[in-house]
Amino acid sequence: MEVVLYHDHYSEEHLEHVKKIMIKRGSPIIRCFYDDFNDLWFAVEGCHRLRAAKELNLTPIIKDISDQKTLIYQYDGNNIKVKLNSEFFDNWYDKNHHNISINFND
């Protein structure tokens, strides 16, 4: 399973904090939509949780939001509500095609 992160910046301090929590709670649940053409998931949250899961050899639990009509996600601490339509996905791919992806099959 390959998951593309929403953004590629993170805080090492926050990552360590998330890892401590994840050691106690286990695999994170991450909202993602599936791209069947490229056979990968796009995470709309959880960049630190996904990195932490990889470092701890945990596989995230994917909450598939592919069939939703709208999406609320956080960007720089703000909640953003968008319609999941072709315009959104075109912009998402333009924005994310250089982002980091994590493979959880290794």
Q: What average pLDDT does this structure show over 2-19?
A: 87
- The confidence score (pLDDT) of residue 5 equals 84
Q: pLDDT (tens digit, 9 = 90+) per residue, 17-58?
A: 999 999 999 999 999 988 887 788 988 888 899 999 999 999
8 A C-beta contact, residue 73 and residue 45: yes
Domain ranges of the chain: 2-103
Is the domain spanning 2-103 CATH 3.30.750? The answer is: no
Q: pLDDT (tens digit, 9 = 90+) per residue, 44-100?
A: 888 899 999 999 999 999 999 988 888 887 777 788 888 877 777 777 666 666 678
pTM check: above 0.85: no
Q: Give the distance from CA 105 to its chain's centroid.
A: 16
Sign of the dihedral through C-alpha 17, 64, 26, 24: positive
